[in-house]
A and B are shown apart, each in its own frame.
Chain A
Amino acid sequence: MWRWCAALMWILLRAVLASAGESVELPEVVVTGARNQTRLEDASTSVTIVDGGEIVQRDQDNVSDAVRGTPGVDVTEYGSPGASTFVTSR
């Protein structure tokens, strides 16, 4: 019991320490589909970004849910979530 309490305390302490620092502003999203790094608005090809923040907001916990519905991509799951998944494009 005391071990579990100690582990929980450690996690909470780690959380407090981790969030004590200042937030970091990430650089603008770039795409590398054409192998050159490019700003999204400069891309010469059709690009869809699956944003990490949106994945969290939508509470999606696997790749198939994250890319499902992306233009040009079809996802077919054979059974329950996490089962064999079949992806086709265009």
Chain B
Amino acid sequence: MRANRNIVGVYGQERIDLIDDTLSTVVGLRYSYFEGFGNHVTASASSAYSFQPTRTRLRVGYNEGFRPPAFDELFGVLGTSTLQPESSYEIDAGVTQDIVPAVVTFAPTYFFRKTQNLIEDIAELPPVAGEPENLFVHNVGTVTAQGVELALGVHPTGWLTLTSDYTYLNTLTTEALLNRPRHRGRVIVAGQWENVLKPADQMSATAMVQAVGRRASPNPYDTASPFAPAPLSGYARVDLALAYRFGGIWSAWSLTASVRNLFNHNYSESIGFPAPGANALAGFRYGF
């Protein structure tokens, strides 16, 4: 089939810096016309203030959004031709704090978003004849999501970096949303060394731990209602990576090696689709 849609958008934005450039504000306004979904105006504004004596940066923002359904959501295998566009607004506020200048940085962010007619996709799983519409792409209704994102960066020495982040997400809605864990985080420890074997050589080693909490997933084994949301337990995965970049005339070449899912943890990102066990990769890169 063929589908066409005319879209017109006009966008204006202004950045204003005040108080010796310590207070920065960005405001924007967008007019959009989507054929079949009418005219819409959305606004955005965000502001940041730097307080140098304590090396603190405060951020606050407000954004509106409008999204008509994509063609695959309307006409794809799981599409629904009667989908309504979704509209939303979001407020977020955060702080970036240098706890130890150039060594430790901490950045928490709070967000709150309200979405009308959220378009919920269940990915490209096969449709089931005779199943109710809520197993296909559909509008959920009003969804409220709020949470906190925490980011920590530690750079204790010239060669060692530790970064960590955590996301808490709480959604309020009439049905379970897919693939939205309430808790998720990761820790990355990376080391970088120079002049290892020869001058100008660079070597790095990275260890990454990712943890994802319990979440809802489409369950293909549910005989009563195939692909209906079902709880899926969380998992943690450890990856290691090494990279060695040659110096001098060989600087375009790098050797890489990595192990993913180091401890061969048996887990699934979606019910019925087990993730690969421990696997190793090795190779070289050439940069043109």
Q: Which residues of A approach B to under 8 Å, CB–CB?
A: 11, 14-16, 18-20, 23, 34-36, 41-46, 48, 54, 56-59, 61, 68-72, 74-81, 83-84, 86, 88, 90
Contact = CB atoms under 8 A, between A and B. Distances in A.
Contact of A58 (B167, B181, B208, B287): B208
Nearest to A57: B204
Give the secondary structure class of B's interface.
strand
The 6 closest A-B pairs by CB, nearest first: A59-B258, A44-B48, A44-B46, A71-B149, A69-B186, A19-B251
Interface stretch (B21-29, B66-74, B79-87, B129-137): B21-29
Interface residues of B, number: 71
Interface of B: 11, 13, 15, 24-26, 28, 46-48, 57, 59, 61, 90, 92, 94, 109, 111, 113, 121, 123-125, 145, 147, 149-151, 165-167, 169, 178-181, 184-186, 190, 192, 204, 206, 208, 210, 212, 217, 239, 241-243, 248-254, 256-258, 269-270, 273, 275-276, 281, 285-288
16 contacts: A15-B250, A44-B47, A46-B109, A46-B149, A56-B243, A56-B254, A57-B190, A57-B241, A59-B257, A69-B184, A80-B276, A81-B276, A84-B124, A86-B121, A90-B90, A90-B147
Nearest to B14: A36
A56 B286 CA distance: 11
Contacts of A69: 165, 184-186, 208, 210
Nearest to A73: B167
Contacts of B46: 34, 44-45
B232 to A, nearest CB: 10
Given A11-B286, A20-B249, A44-B26, A76 B94 contact: no
A44 B286 contact: no
